Amino acid sequence: MAEEERERNQTYGLISLAFWAFILFLLYNSAQNILSPSFIVTVLTVIPLAYFTYLVASYVPEDEDESRLHGLKPVLRYLPVIKKPDGHVSFKMKMIWDFVILVIYFALTNVVIFGLDQQKTMDLFSEFRAIMAGASGSIMHLGIGPIVTASIIMQLFAGAKIIKLNLTKDEDKAVYQSTQKLLVIIMIFVEAIPQVYGYLVPDSGFIQALDSFSPGNGRFLAQLLIVLQLFAGSYIVFLMDEVVSKWGLGSGISLFIAAGVAQAIVVGTFNWEPYQTTGIPAGTLPKTIFYLTHISSPQMANGGFERMFLGNPNPIIALIGTTTIFLIVAYFQSTRVELPLAHGRARGARGRYPINLIYASNIPVILMSALLANISMFALLFWTNPAFQNFPVLGHNWMFGFYAPGQTRPSGGMAWYLSTIRGVGDWLMPLVYPSRYLAGTGHAWISVLLRVIVYVSIMIIGSMIFARFWIETTNMGPKAIAENIQRSGMQIPGFRRDPRVLEKVLERYIPAVTDFSGAFVGALAAGANLIGTVGNTSGTGVLLAVGIMIQMYEAMGKEQMMEMHPMLRQFFGKEG
């Protein structure tokens, strides 16, 4: 029976509609003018959300194992999809697609939002810009934020079994991916609209021009056009990620992060442009040369060495930290546990299945950092945005996070404890010289120490949790790997050729390695942030960029190997 014809549970559907009607009633009571453009936009936003909720709530599953998300199929089938290649895509063509998408990405980061007042713009993702990709003030302002946030929500719901989807089934996997696409669209508006109302300020001339077109609605139209530009840029990023995933090599998200971080590191290391206020070059190496050639020995002893080695931006300790992270990740990325394999039919055909020590890759850190970025964004909104300040419990609550006027970094509250630590000047120097570095901040040294403990702990524990969710939602768990090995005709010597036996053997390694890899990358990212990095990329950004480049190198080797030996594609689960 077609999905449109299937009988629905109207009772549950009406309950879901009643919930959204109650939300509209609350909005109606709090609105100063129900005919205002902002209230009308709010109503138009609630209507599709109510419809989506109705489709899910009223859907009647065929059995208890079927997910209600199948009820969204009437909507999901109309979402744009990048067509999969009909056959195998050659290695050369994959590299061409990666290059083309990367060029388009950098071009779009230089397309400024039309009608935006750049002088009054505030970047809510400034602390996380390296990992959120994109560029502040451009149509790529949101970067990969909506994509990663949607992925976090879907993984949390799937991992907690709130949505019953068996991702080993093609139909359930298609519903999962399509629902995530729909959620990406929703998250684009969730992240774009609050930023436009207060932080991405329209230019006054642009408002006046629109006022002449529609008197009294110039500001609203300007904000609406900015939201639409942000939507266009973010959705293009999403489509480009799909293109890379299906036609290129690796992941589009990973490609954008690595490219942005690499650019920031090069600029942070070699930028010779001087600051207007001090005349000192911004890059690490030019700044070091400047200090050694222009400052006397007494001046160097009286604070010069401290500014050169520890002072922001781009101190020498940050360059050392960046190099150290590169070497550590390169070493551990190549460390693996190898299970011996033998072909069940061809005698003498042996191989090994590698389980990398960083098994869950860097994805848990991306997800954890994106989660912290969203917490930081909403904490700023609840503290400073008039539309959020009266929100129950969280609105203008200093415990959630408070900010100094004009600042995007929290000054205290929960958001401060979870905010990214930027090098030794942000924690070590305040602990060593509290009277000098904490004067006027309102923080004691014990608060700084507690912040370090909380931040590192959250990064480690959160990355471990996301690592578990990631391997389950990407078919990297023991059961899925055992089935892949079984299909390839291989088996572990000395064990019966049975996927259940293989699964039990893999369960000795994969869960433990997954927990270790999540904790390791979380600790490494947090540690790199404590040391500091050049280019204001954050330790997380450097960790991701290095890991991504190493994985890209390994993927290139694997692709070339499969080009020479096409039968290997079956083992790796690639197309024929």
- pLDDT, tens digit, for every residue of 102-156? 999 999 999 999 999 888 888 877 777 777 788 888 999 998 889 888 887 887 7
Tokens at 512, concatenated: 């433990």
Would you place residue 3 in the very low, low, confident or very high pLDDT band (cuts 50, 70, 90)? very low
**pTM of the prediction?**
0.77
Q: CA-CA distance, 550 to 292, in Å (whole number)?
A: 36
For residue 66, pLDDT beyond 50: yes
Amino acid at 414: M
Q: For the purposes of burial, counting CB atoms within 10 Å of the CB of 564, is it exposed (0-12), middle (13-18) or buried (19 or more)? A: exposed
Least confident of 221-225, 300-304, 375-379: 300-304
CATH class of 312-576: mainly alpha
Neighbours of 502 (CB within 10 A): 26
Coil, strand or helix at 357: coil
Residue 394 dihedral angles phi and psi, to the nearest 5°: -85, -25
Contact 366, 253 (CB under 8 A): yes
Residue 172: which residues within 8 A CB-CB, separation 6 or more? 67, 165, 166
pLDDT of residue 553: 84
In this prediction, residue 108 carries a pLDDT of 93
Residue 351: DSSP 8-state: E
Q: How would DSSP label each residue in 374-436?
A: HHHHHHHHHHH-HHHHTSTTTTT-TTT-B--TT-SS--BSHHHHHSPP-SGGGTHHHHH-HHH
CB 73 within 8 A of CB 172: no
CA distances in angstroms from 468 to 333, 334, 503, listed in the order given: 18, 21, 16
Q: What is the pLDDT of residue 2?
A: 44
Whether the pLDDT of residue 448 is over 90: the answer is yes
Output the pLDDT for position 456: 95
Tokens 């509609």 identify what position? 17
pLDDT in tens, 326-335: 888 888 877 8
Secondary structure element (H or E) that encloses residue 455, with its range? helix 445-473
Within the chain, all domains assigned CATH 1.10.3370.10 are found at 90-249, 312-576
Better-predicted residue by pLDDT, 469 or 42: 469
The predicted structure's pLDDT at residue 113: 94
Cα atoms in the 13 Å half-sphere on the side-chain side of 127: 24
* Maximum pairwise Cα distance, the chain: 85
Helix (H, G, I), strand (E, B) or coil at 78: coil
Report d(CA 399, CA 407) in Å as an integer: 17
pLDDT range class, residue 373, cuts 50, 70, 90: confident
Query: Can you list the positions of beta strands (E) in 121-264?
Result: none
Here the tokens at position 229 are 């530009």
Alpha-carbon distance of 30 to 70, in angstroms, equals 35
546 vs 554: CA distance, rounded Å: 12
pLDDT in tens, 379-405: 988 898 777 777 778 888 999 999 888
Structure-block tokens of residue 205: 């001339």
- Tokens 């893999």 sit on residue: 506
The CATH number that domain 90-249 falls under is 1.10.3370.10
For the chain, how far is it from start to end, CA to CA, in angstroms? 33
Which tokens belong to 566?
């096409």
Inform me whether the pLDDT recorded for 569 exceeds 70.
no
Question: For residues 461 and 69, what is the distance between their CA atoms, to the nearest angstrom?
Answer: 29
- 47 vs 505: CA distance, rounded Å: 50
What letter would DSSP give residue 535? G
Residue 485 pLDDT class (50, 70, 90 cuts): confident
CA distance 264 to 241: 21
Question: Is there a contact between 290 and 281 (Cβ–Cβ < 8 Å)?
Answer: yes
How far out from the chain centre does Cα 445 lie? 32
Arithmetic mean of pLDDT, 261-275: 87
Please write the tens of the pLDDT for every residue from 81-100: 888 888 778 888 999 999 99
Tell me the pLDDT band of 447, cut-offs 50, 70 and 90.
very high
Mean pLDDT taken over the chain: 83
Distance CA 529, CA 424 (A): 9
User: Residue 33: its pLDDT value, please?
Assistant: 64
